[in-house]
Structure 1
Amino acid sequence: MIKAIIIDDEQHCIDRILSYCHKYKDSVDIIEVVQTVEGGLESIKNTQIDLLFLDVHIHNQTGFDLLKKIKHINFDIIFTTAYDKYAVQAFKFSAIDYLLKPIDRDDFNQAIEKVIDKSKKEHFDDKVQVLLHNISDGNQQKKISIPTNEGYIFIEVKEIIRCQSDVNYTNIFTKNNQKITVSKTLKTFEKMLEDFNFFRIHNSHLINLSHIKKYTKGKSGYVTMIDNTNLEVSIRRKEKFLEKMI
């Protein structure tokens, strides 16, 4: 049985989570509901839990404030939040689940079933540290959690030179000559990295514009990256690419 706590200051959101959890009453036990950061910290300190439903904004504090006060996180977390571009971006970078308010039943089911199906909670503490690193004000060196067969690799976004599509997989190439294969599409990384000076120059190639060595003209042209890889720029993306480079 998964023991869970809800920390949220909106009763209607609490009621919705409780209602959705009824379907999983044989797998998930909501042992406490708390409406403040302080109360949440006390509950976590005194109870061994497996799952935390954590609101991002709790009165005049945040769920991130709570996490910063916990030395070791050995439980899963599902965040609940009204839409916040930067918070959502941080969740995606750290590979931590989140639910947008008002919480959709199908989204809830997907998140809770992922927790139920887990055989072990690998690297969750590290993922939270990546989240807190990325959410910090003024922090420009964003980190990303990359899932692999062995677990997760945590790297700074600026270390990524390029991403290359391989059907439903993506190969990520870094400055220290790593090649990381991920079972996610290139479009996933395009959406995640588009605000960080990355541009998709071709159906198969997403590049970090900061790591271009040169551009060679031609019908479509090609770029040479700092790892000396030559990559074609597709004709239909050429104009937008050149606009980015000016």
Structure 2
Amino acid sequence: MIRAVIIDDEQHGIDWIKELLVPFREKIKCVGSARTLQNALSLIKEVSPDLVFLDIQIDDRTGFEFLQMVSPISFEVIFTTAHEKYAVRAFKFSAVDYLLKPIDADDLRIALLKFETKSASKHLEQKIDVLLHNLEARHTVKKITVPTMDGYEFLEVTDIVRCRSDVNYTDIHLKNGKKITVSKTLKSFEELLEPEHFFRIHNSHLINLREVKKYVKGKGGYVTMNDNTHLEVSTRRKDAFLKRLI
């Protein structure tokens, strides 16, 4: 049985999550809730939960402050947030689980399924660091958390030269020559990185436009990257690519 705790400064927020958890009562049990950071700290020590639903804003404090008080963290966290769109992208970059308020039942079900596939994460504190960096730096270098066979890699987006599709995996090639293989599709990285000056020039290749050294004309043409890789540009993507490149 999964032992869960809800931390939210609004009672209706707590009540709503409890109601959404009812269909999962055979596998997850809410063992407590708190509306202040101090009460939350006492509750965590008392019940030692497996999972914490943690509101980002708790009165004039934050859920991040709470996690700093708890460190080291021995439970998984699913954040709940009403933050604007840019904050949601920050969550995706950091690979931290979140639910956007008002919380939807299907979104909660998906979050719980993800939780069941992993144990308490020793990488949570590093992922929180990435999240805070991205929340505080809307227009500067962003960091990204990528899952690997061994755990997680924490990368500066600007260190990525290109990403290559390998069926349901993606090879990430870095400026230092390192290659990281990730069990996520290229499309997922395209959605995340395209607003950060990346472009998918081919079904197999997503590139950092800042790392393009040369473009050679042709039916689609090809690019030479700063790592001296030659990559074909798809004919149907050529016009859109040139608009982004110039």
Q: What TM-score comes out, normalization by structure 2 length?
A: 0.89
Equivalent position of 1:64 in the other structure: 64
CA distance, structure 2, for counterparts of residue 130 and residue 185 of structure 1: 21
Deviates more, 1:191-200 or 1:4-13: 4-13
Partner of 1:127: 127
Residue aligning to 1:87: 87
Equivalents in 2 of 1:27, 1:132: separation in Å?
32
Distance in 2, matches of 1:110 and 1:226, equals 40
CA separation of 1:69 and 1:136: change in aligned 2, threshold 3 A? farther
Which position in structure 1 is the counterpart of 2:51? 51
Distance across 1 between alignment mates of 2:118 and 2:173: 29
Identity of aligned residues (%): 55
Give the CA deviation at 1:128: 2.0
- Measured against aligned partners, the alpha-carbon deviations of 1:83-108 in whole angstroms (never above 9, x if no partner) come to 52222112111211111222221221
Aligned residue pairs total 246
- Give the aligned residue type for 2:147: P
Change (3 A) 1:33 1:237: same
**Residues in 1 aligned to 2:195 and 2:242: alpha-carbon distance in whole angstroms:** 17
Consecutive unaligned residues of structure 1, counting only runs of 5 or more, are none
SS in 2 for 1:150: coil
- Cα distance change, pair 137–165 in 1 and its aligned pair in 2 (3 A): closer
C-alpha distance after superposition, 1:155-192 (max 9, x if no partner) = 11111100111222211111111111212111100111
Task: Map 1:91-102; keep pairs closer than 5 Å.
Answer: 91-102=91-102
**What residue in structure 2 maps to residue 240 of structure 1?**
240
CA distance in 2, matches of 1:226, 1:45: 52
SS in 1 for 2:48: coil
Classify the secondary structure of the residue corresponding to 1:43: helix
Q: How does 1:84-163 map to 2 (within 5 A)?
A: 84-119=84-119, 121-137=121-137, 140-163=140-163
- The equivalent residue for 2:228 is 228
Q: Partner residue of 1:29?
A: 29
Q: Closer, same or farther in 2 for the Cα pair 1:124/1:144, shift >3 Å?
A: same
Local SS of the residue matching 1:125 = helix
Letter of the 2:163 counterpart = C
Query: In the alignment, is residue 209 of structure 1 matched against residue 209 of structure 2?
Result: yes
Counterpart secondary structure, 1:194 = helix
Deviation at 1:139, TM superposition (A): 7.3
Counterpart contact for 2:5–2:32, Cα < 8 Å? yes
From the superposition, tell whether residues 89 and 112 of structure 1 become closer, same or farther in structure 2 (CA, over 3 Å): same
Equivalents in 2 of 1:41, 1:47: separation in Å?
A: 10
Cα distance in structure 2, aligned partners of 1:116 and 1:242: 44
Residue 218 (structure 1) aligns with: 218
Alignment of 1:156-171 (within 5 A): 156-171=156-171
Per the TM alignment, residue 45 of structure 1 is displaced from its structure 2 partner at its CA by 5.1
Residue 19 and residue 74 in structure 1: after superposition, are their counterparts in 2 closer, same or farther (change >3 A)? Answer: same
Amino acid corresponding to residue 243 of structure 1 in structure 2: K
Residues 120 and 5 (structure 1 numbering): CA distance in 2 closer, same or farther, change over 3 Å? closer
1:219 Cα offset (Å):
2.3
Match of 1:10 in 2: 10
Deviation at 1:28, TM superposition (A): 2.5
Aligned-residue offset at 1:62: 3.0
Closer/same/farther in 2, CA of residues 34 and 89 from structure 1, 3 Å limit: same
Q: Distance in 2 between matches of 1:244 and 1:124?
A: 35
Contact 2:50–2:120 (CA under 8 A) maintained in structure 1: no
* d(CA) in 2 for partners of 1:198, 1:67: 33
Q: CA deviation at 1:52?
A: 1.1
Equivalent position amino acid for 2:82 in 1:
A
